[in-house]
Each structure stands twice: as structure tokens, then as C-alpha cells.
Amino acid sequence: MKRREELDKYLDLPADELRAETARLKESLFRLNFKLALGEVDAVKRIRQEKKSLARIQTIVRQRELQAAK
């Protein structure tokens, strides 16, 4: 998925769905890192993509918190 498409998708989601997506990404990263440590999978590219997606979601959540505080 292109970066802009992914960002637009996340911007349209409500806060509870963003939290659910954050939890899903954290779980996925945990599993990928575990598999990588065991040598089962070479998913460095996927780990990078998921880390970036997680950072994007956390940024959107933080921006919304700051907007609500104003």
C-alpha cells in the first residue's frame, strides 16, 4: 500500500479502531521479531513496514489528542 493511501486510511478511522490497529501491529511485530530471532523468517522488510505503520498511527492519535486539548 502506498504511503499516502495508508495515511488516508488511518485518518478516516475512529479512535477506538486506531487503538485496535495499534494493538494488532504490536502483536504482529512481537511475533515477527520472535521468528526473526529464531531464524525462521527473514522478514526485515515487513518489520520495517509495520514499525512505520505503527508510528503513523501513534502520530495521528497524538495529533488528535492535541487538537482536543485546544
What's the gap between Cα 62 and its chain centre? Answer: 13
Q: Which grid cell is 55?
A: 508510528
Check whether 70 has a pLDDT greater than 90: no
Q: Which grid cell is 25?
A: 501491529
Is the CB of residue 11 less than 8 Å from the CB of residue 60?
yes
CATH number of this structure's domain 3-69: 1.10.287
Q: Cα(32)–Cα(19) distance, rounded to whole angstroms?
A: 20
Kindly report, residue by residue over 4-56, the tens digit of the pLDDT: 888 888 888 899 999 999 999 999 999 999 988 888 777 888 899 999 999 99
Q: Cα(28)–Cα(34) distance, rounded to whole angstroms?
A: 10
The phi and psi torsions of 66 (rounded to 5 degrees) equal -65, -40
pTM score, two decimals? 0.85
What are the sequence ranges of the domains in the chain? 3-69
